Structure 1
Amino acid sequence: MSKQSFNLVIDPWIKVIEKDTNQEKLVSLTEFFQEAQNYRQLAGEMRSQDLAILRFLLAILTTVYSRFDANDEPYEWLDVDKEALQVSQSVDDDEYDQSDLQETWHQLFQAGHFSEIVIRYLNQHQKQFDLFGSQPFYQVTADQYDLLVPTKKKVASGSGTVSIKQMNRLISESNNTPSLFTPKSEDEKNKIALDELTRWLITYQNFTGVTDKTKIETDEKFSTPAGWLYKLNPVAAKGQSVFETLMLNLILFNQDTKDHYIQQKPVWEYDNINDYVTERKKMILPDDVSSLYTAWARLLHIEWDENEQPTIFSAGLPMYSSENAFKVEPMSTWKHDAQGGADDLKPAVKSTRSLGIAMWRNFGQYINVEKTDGNVTGVEPGLVTWLHALKNKGLIEKNRHLNLISAVLVSDGNATSQAPVVEVTDDLTIRADVLFDTEGTQRWPIRIENMIDTTQQIGKDFWQFAATIGQIRNLDARSFASQQSATFYEQLNTPFKLWLASLSNDDDRDAKELAWKHDLRQIVLDSAEAFMQTSTSRDITGIIVTTKEKSREINIFTANNYLRHNVQKHLEG
């Protein structure tokens, strides 16, 4: 094959939007880190792809700046091999000083750009970032693959492959089940440029389903796992530039481990693939984010034809559990495990049943809302705790608007496939001093949560109104009400998010709550009025409903009156 190299360090493959021109551009890792402050955002094929690549980029930055300060010098308490740029011996906890990491973050953020050490690190590891290298990027060689899989699954057998159209999450088509609505024709589904392949390679390791039949050989049996990021309900912070986005998500210090240095170990720093696989067989959750951000779900090997098109061999790797991983994994919301103990937590994964539930409706999953009785609503993501620490230490302005974003690839829920069926993206914007307000019983998080509770009660009132209309029309009342309720919440999303973003600690808080209740009342009554304006003769005439106690007549007027009564009661309560 003519092509000998495609190196992520020097060859363009990351899609970005330039701030000055708003034009899309393809850049290498070197150009990306040198010019991150000049890019508005990542601009890959999907937002979930951007999230996977963001975590990959953060693994590089976390690794580098946990070893070197903003002046590109190793920390005094750390022994670093200046050639390999890796930690050469363990750190004495008595010498470790977390404030140095805080100062590094502060200096970088103030400078507005990354320092030269990132490029030096990438150049040092260039051979691990080449798609065609002796240690090919996010892959293994044919010999390594053959040593780790069963004999009948070796490369020469031609079995155990995954097609490009399955890795491409815009298609996600297996050879058995054609995808009817795809952005590519049948002839083009398995053709791909090297830059796009690189983006999907990173994405696939994060968002793999469980259809693969090939697994590496282990002493103990294991189930083919889904990708690590696929098992989360992700949350990230978005800045006004790619540099800001990376910095807001770059967790260099942690209150839980402030007296203990965490050594970062991204996948490319393993001396050989056998060491990495041996570690993965233990299924022990790592204590560093770089390991999580670069965790492989599959052992992949690529064979190339003369036209530089790939045949990709794939074998499942054992994966650690995401349960109770909240102290290590910062980019997820969490919920209590109903099947576990009182302290057991698992990611609050979005399913096909919760597609229409916006981020603001789960506000308590994103921030610890401490009630007046001292109870806390849940466990906030580590990322939010990190942003809180930045605000408390004065590293970001207290009146800065924080933009929390989510990009979720939702599976079909089928235990034997977990194929992606839809991507859900969302965001909420709120000022830092509002999100982390501590003003006693008046604090904003409590009030916001109360407003959400009130809003969802009005949502229930509207659902009941719609169910009654469905009953009058002799429809499936629950199904009809659910459809109308989804439309109602879609109407609420934008105004509530604007209200949330408008809050400040200088507000008259009672007045702001009344303003939202006024808007909410108007939206729900307008939604009901739309039914009134399009009512049918059956709606007006109504039906007789008989229960054990009595018979009563219901029609669109009685339903509307009952809705108005409930809205008044719940907004005044």
Structure 2
Amino acid sequence: MPTDGGATGFDLTERPWIPVRRRDGSEAELTLTEVFEGADSGPNGIRRIVGDLPTQEFALLRLLLAVLHDALDGPAGVGEWQELWEAKELPVQQIRDYLGRHRDRFDLLHPKAPFMQVADLHTAKNEFFPLDRIVADVPNGAPFFTMRARGARRLGFAEAARWLVHAHAYDPSGIKSGAVGDARVKNGKGYPQGVGWAGNLGGVFLEGRDLRETLLLNLIAFDSDIRTDDQDRPAWALPPTGAAALRGAEQVYRPYGLRDLYTWQGRRIRLFADDDGVHGVLLCYGDPLDAPNQHHREPMTAWRRSPAQEKKLGKNQVYMPAEHDPARSAWRGLESLLQGRAGRQRGEAAERLRPGVVEWAAHLANDGALSEDHPVSVRTVGAKYGTQQSVIDEVTDDRVNLRITLLARRSAQLRQAAIDAAADADQAVFALGNLATGIARAAGLDTEAPRAQARDRGFGELDHLFRVWLAGLASDSSPQEERRKWQRQVRRAIASVGRELVDAAGERAWSGRIIETDKGDELWLTAGRAERRFHYELATALPLTQEPDEPGD
């Protein structure tokens, strides 16, 4: 029993615990049942989940998807999915009946099978520990930038449930408590087994205009390319776990499908509570799940081919989850989100695979089940770990707004124009960085900081412009003309920043000095010469901005 002071139960189907934002901007905390009941586009409908961290939102969304998949036992194919989409509301009664059948397994404090926990989990010394071990917003060495400067001493049942779900998904690696009954334990300790499954991912999901749309856009049919087995069930529909991890055939063949994967028990956890809330936790390692070549199972991340893993594992083809770079906006990695099998050469496997949820949306558009001009947001969420993956250093959260038409097969030229437009921005900002470098060299100064600052400024100027431009691409847009419009915006914005850099150049930069070029020649470099080179590079990077009679150099 996970309680120690008389707490009688906390039914997640009837007690509020999931934070949401409604379409009118107000926020609330709802029961699991209420979330599905209010997920439509009505005046008080739910716009989205709002977790304590973006990673918590991602973990909770996957839990909701597991409930919906299992309640429907589907959708089996595009036809069933389209019926759900056109119904304008979720099958609430079917979901309510399902949650009623599994009600005991959604009790956070159940004496024998507490939600996502092991009731009798214990160490040889019967210890438990502070809740900092599962609360990810308790900082590591930075106590002045948090409301939890003294740690998480006690949590309400609702918040504890959210961090419980998050821990299974994103818990860091490192040495953990050793549970009695786990054969991997040595000297009372559980040695590093890697981060929670979602922590391996550069998380991606599609966000619609309300929660109902978001759930359905990510509800992949069982006849898709994502593998699903008849044994696929979420954690609460499988026998309760013990301290031991999966072994034998189960370890080889699981996860059986999306329901199993979305509720993967990557940790063994036991909460300790009394009537006033949760005050302790025991956190141990659970079921391992290796990242290589899980692209046929995991749809919520892009994938990259890994030569290093191919060599290590002795395999011809290994794909790894493509993680997010916290310093890089999502639109700058647009190719990995939109391009189906990027970098593929004749006879060679693709270098990158777009996320399965994006592939699924493209399939819906190609089959006419989803309007090509329907707006969606591609959300990117991820955790960056530090110190041997034992702490979470950063959490990334970004979105790219676009229309489904960019994913459709018949919009290949428009999709390529969008990808090329992101590359145009990169090339223009590269030229801006060269200008900052040239001015600094002309003045005899270090070039690294000016270049980095100029690039940051350039991407900052283009960020909003690109997002607006991308969201405006529709099924009747002309790829060539839209890209021309974009290049003109880029040239105006980057040229303006360039003028500011030149105007701010000091007398030393204008006077210049002799430098040695990469070819070994000597060159008198001045701010004026760097400026001329900048305009040449900018015109070369953005050829569609040149007038017919404008020289190319």
Same-fold call, TM > 0.5?
A: yes
The question of whether the paired residues in 2 share the 8 Å contact of 1:324 and 1:345 is answered with yes
Which stretch has the larger CA shift, 449-458 or 397-406?
Answer: 449-458
The answer as to 2:218 corresponding to 1:249 is yes
The answer as to 2:275 corresponding to 1:297 is no
Residues 141 and 261 of structure 1: CA distance in aligned 2, closer, same or farther (over 3 Å)? closer
C-alpha distance in structure 1 between counterparts of 2:143 and 2:442, whole Å:
38
Residues 542 and 240 of structure 1: CA distance in aligned 2, closer, same or farther (over 3 Å)? same
Q: CA deviation at 1:430?
A: 1.9
Secondary structure of 1:11's counterpart equals coil
1:479-523 residue CA offsets vs partner (Å, 9 max, x unmatched): 431232122112212111211111123223322111111011111
Within the candidate set 140, 144, 163, 1:181 is matched to 144
2:86 corresponds to which residue? 110
Within the candidate set 492, 501, 510, 2:480 is matched to 510
Alignment-mate amino acid for residue 427 of structure 1: R
Within the candidate set 396, 401, 407, 1:429 is matched to 401
1:325 corresponds to which residue? 294
C-alpha distance in structure 1 between counterparts of 2:184 and 2:344, whole Å:
51
1:270 corresponds to which residue? 238
1:77 corresponds to which residue? none
Q: CA deviation at 1:342?
A: 5.1
Residues 220 and 364 of structure 1: CA distance in aligned 2, closer, same or farther (over 3 Å)? farther
The answer as to 2:176 corresponding to 1:169 is no
C-alpha distance in structure 2 between counterparts of 1:270 and 1:373, whole Å:
40
Residue segments in structure 2 that go unaligned for 5+ positions in a row: 545-553
C-alpha distance in structure 2 between counterparts of 1:39 and 1:306, whole Å:
31
Residues 275 and 300 of structure 1: CA distance in aligned 2, closer, same or farther (over 3 Å)? closer
Alignment-mate amino acid for residue 29 of structure 1: L
C-alpha distance in structure 2 between counterparts of 1:356 and 1:408, whole Å:
12
Which stretch has the larger CA shift, 306-315 or 125-134?
Answer: 306-315
Secondary structure of 1:264's counterpart equals coil
Within the candidate set 489, 493, 497, 1:527 is matched to 497
The question of whether the paired residues in 2 share the 8 Å contact of 1:6 and 1:131 is answered with yes
Within the candidate set 137, 156, 160, 2:115 is matched to 137
1:276-321 residue CA offsets vs partner (Å, 9 max, x unmatched): 8335983654230111111122111122256433210111124111
Residues 219 and 12 of structure 1: CA distance in aligned 2, closer, same or farther (over 3 Å)? closer
1:230 corresponds to which residue? 199
Alignment-mate amino acid for residue 35 of structure 1: G
C-alpha distance in structure 2 between counterparts of 1:254 and 1:6, whole Å:
37
Q: CA deviation at 1:448?
A: 2.2
Say how many residue pairs are matched: 518
Within the candidate set 97, 101, 106, 1:120 is matched to 97
The question of whether the paired residues in 1 share the 8 Å contact of 2:131 and 2:152 is answered with yes
Which stretch has the larger CA shift, 126-135 or 8-17?
Answer: 126-135
Alignment-mate amino acid for residue 169 of structure 1: A
1:90-118 residue CA offsets vs partner (Å, 9 max, x unmatched): xxxxxxxx4xx433322222222222111
Within the candidate set 194, 200, 218, 2:183 is matched to 218
Alignment-mate amino acid for residue 349 of structure 1: E
The question of whether the paired residues in 2 share the 8 Å contact of 1:466 and 1:480 is answered with yes
Residues 45 and 253 of structure 1: CA distance in aligned 2, closer, same or farther (over 3 Å)? same
Residues 205 and 228 of structure 1: CA distance in aligned 2, closer, same or farther (over 3 Å)? same
Residues 381 and 558 of structure 1: CA distance in aligned 2, closer, same or farther (over 3 Å)? same
Within the candidate set 495, 501, 507, 1:537 is matched to 507
The question of whether the paired residues in 2 share the 8 Å contact of 1:285 and 1:325 is answered with no
The question of whether the paired residues in 1 share the 8 Å contact of 2:439 and 2:527 is answered with yes
Residues 210 and 372 of structure 1: CA distance in aligned 2, closer, same or farther (over 3 Å)? closer
Alignment-mate amino acid for residue 21 of structure 2: I
Residues 107 and 330 of structure 1: CA distance in aligned 2, closer, same or farther (over 3 Å)? same
CA RMSD of aligned residues (A): 2.7
Residues 171 and 261 of structure 1: CA distance in aligned 2, closer, same or farther (over 3 Å)? closer
Secondary structure of 2:146's counterpart equals coil
Secondary structure of 1:140's counterpart equals coil
Residue segments in structure 1 that go unaligned for 5+ positions in a row: 70-97, 147-152
Q: CA deviation at 1:183?
A: 2.5
Within the candidate set 33, 36, 43, 1:33 is matched to 36
C-alpha distance in structure 1 between counterparts of 2:429 and 2:209, whole Å:
34
The question of whether the paired residues in 1 share the 8 Å contact of 2:340 and 2:359 is answered with no
2:317 corresponds to which residue? 343
The answer as to 2:434 corresponding to 1:464 is yes
1:91 corresponds to which residue? none
Within the candidate set 153, 170, 174, 1:190 is matched to 153
Residues 421 and 453 of structure 1: CA distance in aligned 2, closer, same or farther (over 3 Å)? same
The answer as to 2:287 corresponding to 1:311 is no
